[in-house]
């Protein structure tokens, strides 16, 4: 089990800087957050953290916002129990419900059942919400799908539920891989789940690639995604703030993939592109 650090960030003024800080923290390895009255709590694996990297984030150099923080090492606790205390069902447009087994079912809604653990992608984060919204308008029937940075694999599970064929899910985090395997069983879907990165991708090609990660990894990996995407295939991206879009689209243009749809929720954006 990984030891985590809990950071208590005090932010003044709170808006719009709290969302921007979370976006920057994700880029250096923070994987979960709790919003507070005057800031946020952020969590990162102890072995991934360096204070120099934190202090070099752009927001810490911005004179328009003041950020102070303290941090403590978290004890080895039962993360499943902690998540269950705070996990609430997620309703996406009254069409899709992401819930845990201990929540009641809602008649008439498409349901994805996950056991929340210490992995990203429960659906609470706006980027996961945006990805599901985009996926609602895509025909997944018999499509070969790749879910990069899969977290709980909620996106891969949803793709399979709405008709996808062979579906692969990849994440760099062992917690996510373990949780993804459990969630696939819970939802009676078959996924090919791997520990790794875009370096895992070989000669297999895909019809749809889902990547809800962060700006830096996307910029680095988009050329690889495009190389394994079939002609006419769709690349669905999120993990982006609105100010990341221009940089992402520049990389997409360089790799001959065209923007088809852009949606936004709070400060976060999802892009649907086609090869």
pLDDT of residue 14: 87
How confident is residue 27, by pLDDT bands cut at 50, 70 and 90?
A: confident
CATH of 4-73, one of 3.30.750, 3.30.70, 3.40.50, 1.10.287: 3.30.70
Residues of the chain with CATH 3.30.70: 4-73
Would you list which residues are annotated within the binding site for S-adenosyl-L-methionine? 128, 149, 171, 212
| Pairing between β-strand 32-36 and β-strand 145-148 as defined by DSSP bridges | unpaired
Is residue 39 a contact partner of residue 18, using CB atoms and an 8 Å limit?
yes
For 62, which DSSP code?
A: -
Is residue 112 a contact partner of residue 121, using CB atoms and an 8 Å limit?
no
Spatial distance between the Cα atoms of 39 and 27, rounded to a whole number of angstroms: 19
Tally of residues, the chain: 275
pLDDT of residue 113: 92
Is residue 27 a contact partner of residue 48, using CB atoms and an 8 Å limit?
no
Would you list which residues are annotated within the binding site? 128, 149, 171, 212
Spatial distance between the Cα atoms of 59 and 42, rounded to a whole number of angstroms: 15
Spatial distance between the Cα atoms of 94 and 132, rounded to a whole number of angstroms: 12
Three-class DSSP category at 92: strand
Q: Which homologous superfamily is 124-274 in?
A: Vaccinia Virus protein VP39 (3.40.50.150)
pLDDT of residue 121: 46
Reported as a single tens digit per residue, the pLDDT across 208-231 is 999 998 888 899 999 999 999 999
Segment 75-100 mean pLDDT = 75
Residue 124 has pLDDT above 60, yes or no: no
Reported as a single tens digit per residue, the pLDDT across 100-116 is 887 888 889 999 998 76
Predicted TM-score (pTM) above 0.85: no
Reported as a single tens digit per residue, the pLDDT across 47-72 is 889 999 999 999 999 999 999 999 99
Three-class DSSP category at 78: coil
Q: What would the two tokens of residue 141 be?
A: 């029937």
Segment 43-47 mean pLDDT = 85
Spatial distance between the Cα atoms of 96 and 111, rounded to a whole number of angstroms: 6
Residue 22 has pLDDT above 50, yes or no: yes
What's the CA angle centered on 102, arms 133 and 162, to 5 degrees?
30
Residues of the chain with CATH 3.40.50.150: 124-274
Instruction: Check residues 172 and 139 and name the one with the higher pLDDT.
Output: 139
pLDDT of residue 1: 52
pLDDT of residue 170: 96
H helix runs in 87-233, sequence order:
126-135, 154-161, 174-186, 215-227
pLDDT of residue 80: 56
């Amino acid at each position: 089990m990984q030891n985590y650090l809990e950071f208590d960030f005090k932010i003044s003024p709170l808006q719009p800087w709290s969302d921007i800080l979370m976006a920057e923290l994700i880029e250096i390895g923070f994987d979960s957050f709790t919003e507070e009255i005057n800031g946020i709590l952020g969590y990162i694996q102890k072995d991934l953290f360096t204070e120099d990297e934190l202090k070099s984030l752009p927001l810490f150099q911005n004179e328009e916002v003041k950020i102070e923080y303290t941090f403590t090492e978290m004890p080895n606790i039962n993360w499943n129990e902690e998540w269950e205390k705070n996990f609430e069902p997620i309703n996406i447009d009254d069409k899709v419900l992401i819930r845990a087994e201990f929540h009641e079912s809602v008649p008439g809604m498409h349901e994805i059942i996950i056991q929340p653990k210490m992995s990203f992608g429960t659906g609470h984060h706006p980027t996961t919400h945006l990805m599901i919204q985009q996926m609602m308008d895509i025909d997944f029937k018999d499509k070969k799908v790749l879910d990069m940075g899969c977290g709980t694999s909620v996106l891969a599970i949803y793709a399979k539920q709405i008709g996808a064929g062979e579906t692969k899910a990849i994440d760099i985090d062992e917690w996510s891989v373990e949780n993804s395997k459990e969630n696939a069983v819970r939802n009676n879907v078959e996924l090919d789940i791997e520990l790794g990165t875009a370096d895992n991708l070989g000669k297999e090609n895909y019809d749809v690639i889902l990547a809800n990660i962060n700006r830096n990894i996307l910029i680095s990996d988009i050329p690889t995604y495009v190389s394994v995407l079939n002609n006419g295939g769709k690349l669905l991206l999120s993990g982006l703030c609105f100010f990341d879009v221009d940089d992402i689209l520049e990389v997409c243009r360089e790799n001959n993939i065209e923007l088809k749809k852009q949606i936004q929720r709070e400060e976060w954006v999802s892009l649907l592109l086609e090869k």
